[in-house]
Chain A
Amino acid sequence: MAMMEYIDAIRLAMKEEMERDESVFVLGEDVGVKGGVFTTTKGLQEQFGAERVLDTPLAESAIAGVAIGAAMYGMKPIAEMQYSDFMLPATNQIISEAAKIRYRSNNDWNCPVVIRAPIGGGIFGGLYHSQCPESIFFGTPGLKIVAPYSAADAKGLLKAAVRDPDPVLFFENKKCYKLIKGDVPEGDYTVPIGEANLLREGSDITVIGYSLPLHFAMQAAEELEKEHGVTAHILDLRTLQPLDREAIIAAVRQTGKVLIVHEDNKTGGIGAEVAAIIAEHCLFDLDAPIFRLCGPDVPAMPISPPMEKFFLLSKDKVKAEMLRLAQY
C-alpha cells in the first residue's frame, strides 16, 4: 500500500497502462508539454513521447472523434476533456457515435475509448468550470460511466476502463484531486466496472451516492454514530452506468431508509434512477420516503463564494439530512 493523492492515482493508472500496452495513448488539450491544467498527465510526455501524449488543437469534438476512430482501429486512446463543462461539443461524437458503434454494426466494430473529464465545483470555477454533466450521458445505452470516490478506486477503475472493450466515460472529481489521499494497492489491479462498493456498514440509514459527496457522508456518519448512536450504511455506486442494481437493492433492504446524494442537480440526475429502482424493487422494505440531497435545479454553480457554498453539498448539509432521515 502507498498513500497517494487521488490525482496521483489517476496519473499512475495511465502510466502503468501505457507501459503495459503500447496501443494506449493520451490525447487532449495541454496534456503534453504542460502535463495538463491540473497536472494529471505531468511527466507522461517525458516518458512516452509527444506522439503518445498528444497535445491537440482546441476542439473537443475532434479530440473525441479522433479517439473514437483510433479506438475502432484497435488503439486504446484516453481522451481528456479539460473540464467536463467543455465536453458538450463532443456529445454528438460520444452519444451518436461511441455509444452506438457496437450496436449499429451488429457487433462487427467496437470502440474501446476512454474519455476522462473532471467534474464538480468548489474551486471557484463559476458556471463553466464546475459542472457535473453525468445526467447528460446517463441513460445512453452503450456508454459506461464511472465516477471514483477514492484514490484506490480512481486507479483501479481507470485501468479497468482502459482495458474495457466498450466506451467508458471517466468522471474524476477535480475537488478530490488534492483533497483526497488514500492507500492505493501496489502494482497492477483493476476495480471492476459495474460493481458498487460498500464503504461502511450500518443498520439505521442507507446513503447511496458517488464521488466527492460521499466523503461528506462518511465524515457525517462518524459524527452521527458518536453523537446520536445512528449507524449509517454507505454505498458508493462507483459505476453510474450500468448501475449495480443488486447492490442498491441490498443496501436499501439493510436499513429501510435511504438518502441519495450527488452534486449534479436533482431533477433527472442519477439519483432519480436510483430512486426509481428502489421504488420498483424495495417499496415494502421502506420505512421512510426516499430522500435526495443534490445540487439545486439551477443552470450551474455561481462563482461568488456565498453562492458557491450555497450550491455545494457539505458535511453539515449531508449530516443534517442523514439525521432527519434517521429520526423519520
Chain B
Amino acid sequence: MESQGTVDTVNRHKQLGLTDGQVIDMYRFMQLGRKYDERSLLLQRAGKINFHVSGIGQEAAQVAAAFALDRENDYFLPYYRDYAFVLSVGMTTRELMLSVFAKAEDPNSGGRQMPGHFGSKRLRIVTGSSPVTTQVPHAAGFALAAKMQKKKFVSFVTFGEGSSNQGDFHEACNFAGVNKLPMIIFCQNNQYAISIPAHKQLGGKVSDRALGYGFPGIRVDGNDPLEVYRVVKEARERALAGEGPTLIEAMMYRLSPHSTSDNDLAYRTQEEVDENWKKDGIAAFRTYLTGLGLWSDEQERDLAAEYNLELKEAITYAENAPFPKPEDTLLHVYDESGLKGGA
C-alpha cells in the first residue's frame, strides 16, 4: 500500500526505510501495550491481581526502539515498564497476563516474580530483577560475548532516568566504552523516579554523561517514534561496525502513577499530568498515520475491538490457569539435572 500524503502531513517514515505496513504495525504494538497496561490497572483495582506497574506514556519510544533492532538476533534487557517493548519482540498478552496472575505457565518467571520482571530465553529477553540498573552490566556482558565470539548481534538495555544514578549504570557505561562493545543503552526519561522529579535526580542531562565514557550520547523526543527509530537504528549500525556503544536518552512522561501502590497526585498536579497527555506519542502517531491516509477511525474502532477480545481471552486463560504447586517453591535453586550440589 502506498501512502497518500496530505498537504499537512509529510511522509517521514519512508526515508527511514520503514514501509507503510511497518509503521502501522508499530502503531498497533503501541496500542496493544497501552490497552494491556490499562486493563492491568483495572484488574488490580477490581482486586483480581495484586500489583501492576505501568508504562503508560512510554509505549511509542519502546515500540520504535524494538522496530529498529534485529528482533530475531539481538538480546534485550528491558526494565519493568517495557510492556510495549516486550510485546514488540514477541511476548504475547497471554504470557503477560499469566505473569500478573502469577501462574505456573508464566514464561517470565513461572509466577515467581512481580509483573514487569521480564525474561524469556526464547525471545532473548534476559531475566531481570528489581534492584534497578543491575541489567546494564549484564548487557555489557552480552555485548562482550558478541564481540569475543564475533556474532552479529547487539545488546539493548533500558532503564529510567532515576536508575541512571546507580553505580552499575556508570560502571557498565565505562566498561562498554573502554571495550567498544556493541551495546545500546536506552534511558527512558519519564521525568519521575516514583515521586522524585528529574530536577532532583539529575544535575545535568543523562545523555551528556556519555561524553565521559567516550561514546555518543543522544537526547531524543520519546514521543516521536520515528525519531527514536532513527537514532536506535543508527546506534545499532555503529555497534555492528565496531564503533562501540551509544547512550540514548528518550524524553517522555510517566502518565500513570508509579505503580498501583502509588498516589501520584501527592507529589504532582493533575494540570501537569493533563498537559503531558496532550503530548502523548501514541495520539500523535495516530494523527500522523491518519494524515497520510494510513489509518482511519474505522480501523481504530476495529483495533480496539480486536484488542478487547484478545485481552479478554488472555485474562480468561490466565485466570483459569493453575498456580504453581506450593512445593515448587523449592525448585530451581541450582541445576537439578543430576550434578551433586543441590541444597
Chain A stretch 103-132: residues in CB contact (< 8 A) with chain B: 103-110
Contacts of B112 in A (CB 8 A): 103-104, 106
Interface segment out of the listed B61-69, B172-180, B193-201: B172-180
In the assembled complex, A92 has its CB within 8 A of some CB on chain B? yes
Flag if B142 contacts A69 (CB, 8 Å). Answer: yes
Interface segment out of the listed B17-25, B48-56, B113-121: B113-121
Flag if B142 contacts A102 (CB, 8 Å). Answer: no
Contacts of B120 in A (CB 8 A): 108
Contacts of A192 in B (CB 8 A): 340-341
Interface segment out of the listed B230-238, B290-298, B331-339: B331-339
Tell me the B residues contacting A by CB distance below 8 Å: 75, 106-113, 117, 119-121, 126-127, 129, 131, 134, 136-145, 147-149, 155, 167-168, 171-172, 174-175, 178-179, 331-335, 337, 339-343
Query: Bound state CA distance, A65 and B179, in angstroms?
Result: 15
Please pick, from A71, A73, A103, A144, the residue contacting B341 in the complex, using a CB distance under 8 A.
A144
Flag if A56 contacts B127 (CB, 8 Å). Answer: no
Given A65-B134, A100-B129, A108-B119, 20 more pairs with CB closer than 8 A: A52-B148, A61-B171, A62-B174, A65-B137, A65-B168, A66-B140, A69-B142, A69-B145, A70-B145, A73-B142, A89-B167, A93-B168, A104-B112, A104-B129, A105-B109, A106-B110, A108-B120, A109-B121, A164-B339, A241-B343
Query: Bound state CA distance, A144 and B129, in angstroms?
Result: 20
B294 vs chain A, min Cβ distance (A): 38
Flag if B141 contacts A92 (CB, 8 Å). Answer: no
Flag if B341 contacts A97 (CB, 8 Å). Answer: no
Query: Bound state CA distance, A43 and B128, in angstroms?
Result: 37
Interface hub of B111, B134, B179 (most chain A Cβ within 10 A): B134
Flag if A62 contacts B175 (CB, 8 Å). Answer: yes
Query: Bound state CA distance, A233 and B147, in angstroms?
Result: 51
Q: Tally A-B pairs: CB < 8 A.
A: 157
Chain A contact surface mostly? mixed
Query: Bound state CA distance, A284 and B117, in angstroms?
Result: 48
A127 vs chain B, min Cβ distance (A): 22
Chain A stretch 164-210: residues in CB contact (< 8 A) with chain B: 164-166, 192-195
Contacts of A77 in B (CB 8 A): 141
When C-beta atoms are compared, the residue in chain A nearest to B105 turns out to be A106
Contacts of B117 in A (CB 8 A): 104
Please pick, from A65, A100, A239, A242, the residue contacting B138 in the complex, using a CB distance under 8 A.
A65
When C-beta atoms are compared, the residue in chain B nearest to A108 turns out to be B121
A165 vs chain B, min Cβ distance (A): 4
Please pick, from B107, B138, B144, B340, the residue contacting A193 in the complex, using a CB distance under 8 A.
B340
In the assembled complex, A74 has its CB within 8 A of some CB on chain B? yes
Flag if B127 contacts A104 (CB, 8 Å). Answer: yes
Interface hub of A70, A75, A89, A102 (most chain B Cβ within 10 A): A70
When C-beta atoms are compared, the residue in chain B nearest to A241 turns out to be B343
Contacts of A74 in B (CB 8 A): 145
Query: Bound state CA distance, A289 and B89, in angstroms?
Result: 61
Given A92-B134, A242-B342: A62 and B127 within 8 A (CB)?
A: no
Flag if B175 contacts A56 (CB, 8 Å). Answer: yes
B184 vs chain A, min Cβ distance (A): 14
Contact string against B for A residues 54-81, beta-carbon threshold 8 Å, 1 for contact and 0 otherwise: 1011010110111111111111010000
When C-beta atoms are compared, the residue in chain A nearest to B335 turns out to be A165
Given A75-B145, A108-B121: A194 and B109 within 8 A (CB)?
A: no
In the assembled complex, A232 has its CB within 8 A of some CB on chain B? no
Given A73-B145, A106-B110: A65 and B331 within 8 A (CB)?
A: no
